[in-house]
Structure 1
Amino acid sequence: MSKLNIREADRLEVTILVDNYTDMLVTESNDICRRPHLFLPHVFLAEHGLSCLIKVFSGVEEHTILMDAAVTPACLFNNAKLLKVDLSKLEAIILSHGHPDHFLGLVELLKFIHEEEGKEIPLFLHPEAFLERRINIPAVGVPSTMPALEEAVLKASGAIPIKSKKPVPVAGDLIYTTGEVERTTAFEKGFPWAEAKIDGNWVADPFRDDQGLVIKLKGKGLVVISGCAHAGIINTVQYAKKLTGMDKIHAVLGGFHLTGGIFDPLIQPTIDEMRRINPDYIIPMHCKGWKAINRFAEVMPEKFLLNTVGTTYVLEGEP
């Protein structure tokens, strides 16, 4: 496999527009983690969704993209307004995978961009993000169908879908998608209750569309950003290392999908492997789960950062 030709970034800023957790009293900031200061009646909204504004810099060059678009436009636009983020200026949107907690706000966002700027915007995603999907919980007995992406609706709203199973460069080659993530761990086996309709049949969802982002920070190593990491957060990080030929991980942030009783057995092996990877910073978000986030905080306190809606992570490369 040829290595990705990722350009080195001087600085990376990741602002969490939407996540599951908000706390306006978490205000402690430092050079890496910058918390907003809001006062009532202004409040950030949280929901079971994810949306991250990503800015990457190289010299005087600057690019702004969005990964995922949350569940509700109300949540996404409220938080962007409070953070003074102009979503109409985005140059690209990346979808981590085809689950509605990552795309239901997308159509309204696309329409807003088109109305404000009169432009269409590239939307990077895997072809299987359009699959029909459902959750089939054995204790419930009746599958629950999930909303699905519709390509025609996306195009009519101003998206230019760019579908790829392989890594794709964005932001002037300063960011790459991972494309389909190789599955190499013994314990990351996906989401047992998730099903997808493939070739006319409902089967266990393989989540081939699950992808992350990779950034090479000058002199610091790789930054890996996940959506839900249905492919496994360890698989995702290890695949990013393989794609780039780099071993050093500076930061891992995003959803780790360790919430719920069926994922409890995965928490400790995930932490064990993350300790071996030894990133400088670990920032679990979205579907990480209460038990997992507390275990990461306990076991990796010098590396762990608690995420809240509105936080901006500023990662600087070497001068």
Structure 2
Amino acid sequence: MPISAPDLAALGKVSLDEFMRNTPVDQIGVEHPLLKKLMSKRKLFLGAKQNVTVQIRKAYDTNFAWAYGETTVGFNKRDKGEQAAFPWRRAVDGFYIDYDTLFGNGIKVREGDRGQYKLEQNEKVQLVNLLNENMEQFRLGFMEKLDIELHRNGTASTDAVTGLDGLIAIAPATGIVGGLDRATAVYWRNNFTTAIASTTAGALATAMELQWRKCIRTGGMPDFILAGSAFIDAYRQYGIQGITQNTDAGSVKRLDAGVGSGVSTGLYFKGVEIIWDPNFETLDALDAPVIPWEKRCYFINTKHIELRDDDMDIVTPTRPHNVLALYQMINLRLALVLKKANAHSVMAIA
């Protein structure tokens, strides 16, 4: 038996919804560590004209002074601070399956009302398998591209979101971020250091220690460390000066040079694990930056940077009158919001 076009559209939307709904939180593999971390703490935002806005406290404006007797006390009006405005952008993707492909898989699509035709059980299985195959490729492709774009600085397209490279910048004294000019807004600059002599004993650990202190001075302890292969290899070889083991005198000891699993390197700094980001290599090939991603390491405080989105919208567009196909589409409005710049740092080895 055939299936009606409206029934096919409804089934396609349900299938895509099952694949995509809450996927960023629950089902992303560890090969996308930045996206996984951001999505795990994402926040929804309601409709906004164009920007997601956050309040910035740039100074305390204190009048603190010592006084005795009739010493005059100074009063002032506290500065309300600044607002940083991050424009949301819309990420979209879509695909179609033409009716002839469906027919080649044993599924005939006919014009008619919903419920007018009823598929046989074997036809249902074939249709679900075909939809699942397309949905899985669609999901993986969308997440892969979204992860890449959340790393970049947003200049690749006028409609692109500003990502990690723009918010936690290699050159934080220039550029406008969230509507604030970093050339004058010193408080709105992230910490950074480059050209670290990674093969000099102690130099890498010393540089990381200095950047860590700068981060915690105003922003609290970073809780997410992301790094490229070259930086991780340098840290493994030259950054760790000694190894402390918690041993049990009565047990057999095992040493394994290949610590870690997957993107979890098994290497730590200040108790926070250094996570390897495999997409750094992809970004180097894509953008060829002056300072390669593979040589970078990011100290990130996830309290002060967050992903805002309006949740995924699953859409089944009406097919064109002259094309016989099932169309599927998703929309996701989002912005990556920086709430405190000097709570983060980016480092790079020479």
What is the TM-score of this pair, normalised by structure 1?
A: 0.26
Bigger radius of gyration among the two:
2
Higher helix share: 2
Greater relative contact order (Cα < 8 A, sep 6+): 2
